[in-house]
Amino acid sequence: MLHATSELEFSNEKNTENIAQLASLALSSDPSPSEKNSPGLPEKTGYPDSVYVMAANIFQGIRFEKSPEQVLIKYGNEPLRSLPESQDEAFQRSSYELAFSALKFQDILETILIDSYIFPSTTIPDHLNSLIIVMLYDFQDRKFQARLFSDNEEPIAEVQEVENLLNSFKTKLAAALARCRIKHDALSIYHILPETVRNQELRASTLPLYAWINTCKISPEEVHYSLKKKGYNKVKSVLHIDDKVYAVDQHCYDVLIFPSHLKNDLLNIDLFKDYKLIFQDKSRSLAVHSVRALLNMDDDILMVNTGSWYTVAHMSILTNNNTSKIFVCGVKSQAKDPDLKKLFTKMGCKNIEILHETFLNIESKDHRLQKVKVILLLPRCSGLGVSNPVEFILNEHEDTGLLKDFSQGGTSEDKLHILAQQQYEQLTHAMKFAKAQAVVYCTCSVYPEENEAVVKKALEFQDLGIKVQPYRLSPPVLPLCSLKEIHLSTDKFFRMEPSGITNGCFLSVLTRERDPSETVSVKDVLARAAAKGLLDGIELGKSSKREKKKKKSKISLPKAPTNDNNGIQMKIAEFLSRETNANANRSETLTTKASLPQKNATSAGSSSQVRKPSKPAANPLVPTFSKNTPHPSPHERQTNFVRPRPADRVIALKPIEIVLPPVMLPFSSPHGIKSQIPTQHFYYHWAGPKTGYFPSPLISRRGEKPKENLPSSLLRRPRPWL
């Protein structure tokens, strides 16, 4: 039992009136930023007993220890007996938030307990002091109002005893709090915190909510339609808007942004209950989208230190249409496998394989990872770019000791050095996987020691002994949406500074340099495609003048390759040889034809290719005859209309427009068509030697009108294009 032996004596002192006045001052303290920016937030009523117990045990493990001469309150080492740990996410979040708040105000709360004479006037077991600290913080946060109890809640004896003690000292606790505020000249105990911590809390209270769309279960269009039915309007920006609105993120097409005050309302709609929309920090979405941009259809992925399983699920959703497999390493306990498989099944993820080895213990030549082309590395970091430390600890990190750093607004040099060394070891190990072609490195830190310094050091000291190309720093694969982002990415690193819009983020993409020996020409690509039967029915383009002349002077077959793809390379060689012989035969035929007397004429429709005439003064479509040349018969004239192909020059083909003259249809055509036929018909004959030759009016130049004043007695010209 707890004993308060001096309570009655203290209540009879003459300064009772002054204490009441100070208590009223404490009760009227200004709200915290979270209260100011949460419109319609219900009045706080306290937590269940089990939350207080779990928060006390967390605080016991992360509290600041003082030197023996400064110790005012002893906490003991024995944890409180608690109920079986709840798997409810809200239960854990409430416990961590309460413990973290008590940690930030540990010195102030201890001073209040001493100043109010709870210590040392009462006999309290040391192992209950952690429980007193967390319950005192919640008591003053409720402005010393009574806690509401639930009928379904199972009471815990230790919690009930501490609560009775605090209620009996209610007035003196409020007066001690007021004196503390006056001493620090602060409107509330919130203003006593370091400025970095206050700014962090301010950002956390206004930071928008980010949620990605599970496209395996619903399309973006269906999400927009469903939100519109719920009263949510799509806007370009959600800043400083208190209405039910949302926006689409500029970097990730499947990420939506909501105002922070809508979280409780959003959690109650089916889109979030059915895992169609998932809340997650934007930095993790940036990481998986960077990996997606580097993948081919059948490339596997290795994810290291994933933190939240939602990150793994998001990666799986983005590769759902591929044959990629996602390997996740670092799962320490196999007991979690059934729960994880159940979660992934609910979300529609099918291509995930869990590895229970730690990343550094996985060999780079592991047979399971031979198709891994991209490694996503999310190392443990200080997380000082995050606005909400509790969310970061629960979702991305298991080290609750980092809450100490968050409560002080910074990380010690020693711990920062340890983290940077761990990150360097993981990054260099990832670069040893010979089959991998890219590594994506992402942190939530703002310290260069964990970001640029680690990447540059790994690139500088990478192992060049293995028979693979070295890694190099590549530009960001994400869109840069503002001048500030462009400026921050000039050195090929993608950065986002902590702000009222997003948490801090650092992202780097490392890719292997291209092997010069693997550079292939367009001709080689076409040859490989033809060898595989992918160009059936497609004619390959003709070679240029210089290449053709080289082939005529010297024809050589490609040397047989000595690599593993001998079969494919032999097919390529056969294909090139066949094409070369065909071109050579064609050249010989054209050369023979060019040596004979040729007539500069052609028959329309005999060839689909059009070339420029060699003599611009003459029409290449009309034959020329000498003086003694008799009139050829129609049959002869038709067979002689063959276009010559000069063998000594190759002209690049260009699309042109051919304007055909009006034609006369046969007399057996329908009457409706006859009425549209021109009344004047065009005839011509072969010109004599006196007049030479003249161009045929049937095929006029572009823009010219055909001549109509021809004698009607002329013979009619056959029309082979009909």
286 and 421 inside one domain: yes
How far is Cα 381 from Cα 441, in angstroms, rounded to an integer?
Answer: 12
Could you give phi then psi for residue 627, rounded to 5 degrees? -65, -45
571 close to 531: Cβ distance less than 8 angstroms: yes
Would residue 209 count as lying in a domain?
no
Structural domains in the chain (count): 2
> In the numeric block, which tokens belong to residue 315?
């990666």
Give me the count of residues in the chain: 722
Distances (CA, A) of 123 to 10, 159, 172, 373, 397: 16, 16, 18, 64, 38
Q: What is the pLDDT of residue 676?
A: 45
How far is Cα 53 from Cα 155, in angstroms, rounded to an integer?
Answer: 11
Residue whose entry in the numeric block shows the structure tokens 């769309």: 213
Among residues 512, 542, 570, the one where a domain terminates is: 512
Would residue 268 count as lying in a domain?
no
What residue type is assigned to position 721 of the chain? Answer: W
Would residue 334 count as lying in a domain?
yes
Among residues 512, 546, 561, the one where a domain terminates is: 512
Would residue 66 count as lying in a domain?
yes
Question: What is the chain's Cα-based Rg?
Answer: 42
Residue 603 CB contacts under 8 Å (≥ 6 apart), including other chains:
638, 641, 642, 720
Q: Is 349 annotated as catalytic?
A: no
> In the numeric block, which tokens belong to residue 707?
């001549």
Residues 256-273: tens digit of each pLDDT: 999 999 998 999 999 999
CATH code for position 307: 3.40.50.150
Q: What is the pLDDT of residue 682?
A: 44
298 and 426 inside one domain: yes
Q: What is the pTM of this model?
A: 0.68
- Of these residues, 180, 381, 442, 444, which one is catalytic? 444
Residues 12-36: tens digit of each pLDDT: 444 544 555 555 555 545 555 555 5
Residue whose entry in the numeric block shows the structure tokens 């719920």: 230
Distances (CA, A) of 163 to 43, 107, 124, 134, 240: 19, 21, 13, 11, 40
186 and 322 inside one domain: no
Q: What is the mean pLDDT of each run of 10 residues along the chain (722 residues)?
A: 45 48 51 53 78 94 85 84 70 92 94 90 87 96 88 86 94 94 90 88 90 96 96 88 90 95 92 95 95 92 91 94 90 79 92 91 90 94 88 78 86 91 96 94 94 96 81 92 85 91 94 71 69 63 53 48 55 68 57 44 40 42 43 46 51 65 51 44 46 44 47 48 45
Name 121's bridge partners.
Answer: none
356 and 503 inside one domain: yes
Residue 414 CB contacts under 8 Å (≥ 6 apart), including other chains:
none
75 and 184 inside one domain: yes
Q: What is the pLDDT of residue 656?
A: 67
Residue whose entry in the numeric block shows the structure tokens 């060394």: 421
The residue segments making up the domain with residue 287 are 281-512
Would residue 722 count as lying in a domain?
no
Among residues 158, 193, 228, the one where a domain terminates is: 193
How far is Cα 464 from Cα 471, in angstroms, rounded to an integer?
Answer: 9
Pairing verdict, β 505-512 and 471-474 = antiparallel
306 and 180 inside one domain: no
353 and 464 inside one domain: yes
What long-range pairs does 177-186 form, CB within 8 A, spacing at least 24?
A: 177/26, 177/29, 177/112, 177/140, 178/22, 178/23, 178/25, 178/26, 179/22, 179/115, 180/108, 180/111, 180/112, 180/115, 181/25, 181/26, 181/29
Residues 50-71: tens digit of each pLDDT: 999 999 999 999 999 888 777 7
474-486 in b/e burial notation, b at 16+ Cβ within 10 A?
bebbbebeeeebe
How far is Cα 140 from Cα 146, in angstroms, rounded to an integer?
Answer: 11
Would residue 427 count as lying in a domain?
yes
Q: What is the pLDDT of residue 349?
A: 93
Q: In what order do the strands lie in the sheet with 277-279?
A: 233-234, 245-248, 255-258, 209-213, 277-279
Q: What is the pLDDT of residue 299?
A: 94
Would residue 437 count as lying in a domain?
yes
Would residue 93 count as lying in a domain?
yes
